[in-house]
């Protein structure tokens, strides 16, 4: 997945544990772990809003796009058009 989450970084900055964040959002620690490890296929806007509210940050602070090599090729093809 080319979208990665920087939740660990934000949690460290805010000195908050995963348990506290999970309780604040209203999800389980296991689900938060799925998000942190990049196994999530999608995130709801409501969840993203709750995370940003609790961590006092912007969505761009916790989500980052890192294209893989396959994405580089398709991106180059797209630019040709």
Partner 1 sequence: MDKIVKLSTTLKKIFAFLMFLPFLLATGLWLCLTRFPELGLSKLSHIPIEIVHDTKVSLAFVGFSVFLPMFVVQTYWLWQLWQLFSHYSEGKIFTPENSVYVRRTAFAFLCITLLSILIDSLLTIILAVNNDIGYRLLFLTVGILQISNILTGLVLIVIAWIMDEAHRLQREIDTVI
Beta carbon of residue 69, minimum distance to partner 1 (angstroms, whole number)? 24
Residue list 44-73, contact with partner 1 (CB under 8 A): 44, 47
d(C-alpha 52, C-alpha 54), whole Å: 6
Q: Per CB under 8 A, does 34 bind partner 1?
A: yes
Cβ 55 to partner 1 shortest distance, Å: 15
The 10 Å CB-count burial string (b at 16+, else e) for 41-71 is eeeeeebeebbbebbebeeebbeeeeeeeee
Q: Where along the sequence are the contacts to partner 1 (CB under 8 A)?
A: 27, 31-32, 34-35, 39-44, 47
């Amino acid at each position: 997945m080319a979208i990665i989450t920087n939740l660990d970084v934000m949690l460290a900055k805010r000195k908050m544990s995963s348990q506290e964040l999970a309780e604040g959002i209203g999800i389980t620690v296991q689900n938060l772990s799925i998000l942190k490890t990049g196994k999530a296929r999608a995130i709801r806007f409501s969840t993203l809003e709750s995370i940003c509210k609790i961590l006092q940050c912007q969505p761009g602070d916790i989500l980052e796009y890192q294209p893989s090599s396959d994405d580089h090729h398709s991106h180059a093809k797209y630019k040709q058009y």
